């Protein structure tokens, strides 16, 4: 199972980091951080779709996408293009990201930042805050109910916003049981890596009013943004299309398509 392997690898890498940077040091760094930015306000529904733009070098399904030697510059382009928030992949084995990328982006932009990784431990949540993240991705399929609740509560306790990612109706029910305010529906099944661009449209009507709805994956053209917007998406998370072309022009075109 791809998701289980990715999560196990991310947890193993976090444990390796903890050997040289114990939890107490990470907690002290988190305490020194300015409070997290209000991601819910930044991503609140508006007249046109909002975009979370992703710093993404590679993926298991697509291989290498872009070198991105300067993630801070990439993030600055996203800000110029009109992104409402920025996602930074910090998983190193398959996505070639790092916490250094997150730190560099934090120093460069004042938009809310999502730490996108395979988070399964409290240590990883504390790392996110210590590095300047405002949002933390929690993937329902990767976590049992007790772990999901524990990490969700810790993200909130640290002043950040949890983005709860789902892939089917059962996972959406688990996300709603948390009373999550930010729910993503990922068109990519992280066990098989197959895409279902219509999944969001099937699940969105069951998400209550007041919950911010995020469509993830399967966005390669303006029509894909329009497709998600028509299905009820408040926000679309986009990675590949922004790192393989002109990010400013692409963002502006996508925002226009979602108006």
Active site residues: 54, 56, 116, 165, 186, 216-217
Using only C-alpha atoms, what is the Rg of the chain?
17
Q: Could you tell me the two tokens for 59? A: 């993926």
Give CB contacts under 8 A, 24+ apart, made by 221-226.
222/253, 222/254, 222/256, 222/257, 223/257, 224/197, 225/49, 225/51, 225/254, 225/255, 225/257, 225/258, 226/257, 226/258
d(Cα 104, Cα 122) in Å, to the nearest integer?
23
Q: Determine the 3-state secondary structure of 80 from DSSP.
A: helix
Q: Could you tell me the two tokens for 19? A: 């050997």
Cβ distance 18 to 123 under 8 Å?
yes
Q: 184 - beta bridge partners?
A: 165, 214
């Amino acid at each position: 199972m791809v998701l289980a392997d990715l999560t196990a690898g991310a947890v193993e890498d976090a444990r390796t980091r903890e050997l040289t940077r114990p939890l107490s040091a990470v907690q002290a760094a988190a305490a020194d951080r300015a409070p997290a930015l209000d991601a819910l306000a930044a991503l609140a529904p508006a007249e046109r779709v909002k975009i979370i733009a992703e710093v993404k070098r590679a993926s298991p399904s697509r291989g290498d996408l872009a070198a991105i030697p300067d993630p801070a510059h990439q993030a600055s382009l996203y800000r110029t293009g009109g992104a409402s928030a920025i996602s930074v992949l910090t998983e190193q084995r398959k996505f070639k990201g790092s916490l250094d990328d997150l730190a560099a982006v934090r120093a460069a932009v004042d938009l809310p930042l999502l730490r996108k990784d395979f988070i399964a431990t409290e240590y990883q949540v504390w790392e996110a805050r210590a590095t300047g993240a405002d949002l933390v991705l929690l993937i329902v399929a990767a976590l049992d109910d007790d772990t999901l609740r524990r990490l969700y509560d810790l993200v909130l306790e640290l002043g950040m916003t949890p983005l709860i990612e789902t892939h089917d109706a059962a996972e959406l029910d688990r996300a709603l049981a948390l009373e999550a305010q930010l729910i993503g529906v990922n068109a990519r099944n992280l066990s098989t890596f197959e895409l279902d661009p219509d999944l969001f449209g099937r699940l969105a009507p069951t998400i209550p009013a007041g919950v911010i709805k995020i469509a993830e994956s399967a966005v390669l053209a303006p029509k894909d943004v329009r497709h998600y917007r028509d299905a009820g998406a408040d926000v679309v998370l986009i990675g590949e299309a922004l790192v393989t072309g002109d990010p400013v022009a692409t963002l502006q075109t996508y925002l226009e398509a979602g108006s």
